[in-house]
Amino acid sequence: MGLDVQWALRWLALSAEAMAEHREELIELDRPIGDSDHGENMDRGFKAVMVKIAEAPPETAGAALKMTAMTLMSKVGGAAGPLYGTAFLRAATALGDADDIDAATLAAAFQAARDGIVARGKAESGDKTMVDAWTPAVDAAVAAAGNSDVHKVLAAAAEAAEAGAVSTDPMLARKGRASYLGERSIGHRDPGAVSTALILRAAVGAAG
């Protein structure tokens, strides 16, 4: 058995919980290298997603992710709204109307999400952005998809994203507001990479 719309809805609900729980942490991470608003924006965005889902429950995982994309684009300020919105929209397109998401489709959806972020933000690995969490997550997901086990794909992606977020600590920021700080950006963890890891970890929890 693969993943279905109920998994997607649990994923979004757990993501919303994670953004609320880690709101202050994300704000503090963003304070020295950004606008101090990442935690606030992500919490507000996912709360809005929960409202939209309650108003019109989606019937497929793809529809749930598309609804998420549209909501985040309209409710989340800064760069995070367009970037996460694009990620969820690309992932939704990759899933299509599938009722049963297998390992290969799941990995393809994660890859589509990452590619959307890269296309929108023009960032690469090593630039100290959320891409530094997404790219290792995608690589791990694609590698794990050969086992045809969606749970292994999810776990591999989350673990790689968490390690990727930590890897941003010593990086020199080359994109976004943090890049204006030059050498002073070194030693700070990228908040977008951290929120990426939290969202991908929520996807694991949603699968049980």
At 184 the pLDDT is 86
At 147 the pLDDT is 83
Topology of the domain comprising 5-206: 1.25.40
Q: Could you report how far apart the first and last alpha carbons of the chain are, in Å?
A: 13
Note the pLDDT tens digit of each residue in 54-78. Answer: 999 999 999 999 999 999 999 987 8
Note the pLDDT tens digit of each residue in 86-120. Answer: 999 999 999 999 999 999 999 999 999 999 999 99
Which DSSP string do the residues of 78-144 spell out, in sequence order? TTHHHHHHHHHHHHHHHHTT-SSB-HHHHHHHHHHHHHHHHHHH---TTSSSTHHHHHHHHHHHHHH
Closest CA to 6 of 75, 100, 103: 100
Q: What is the pTM of this model?
A: 0.96
Which one-letter DSSP state was computed for residue 162? H
The ranges assigned to domains in the chain are: 5-206
Note the pLDDT tens digit of each residue in 136-145. Answer: 999 999 999 9
If you average pLDDT over every residue of the chain, what do you get? 95
Q: Please give the Cα distance from 167 to 46 (Å, whole number).
A: 26
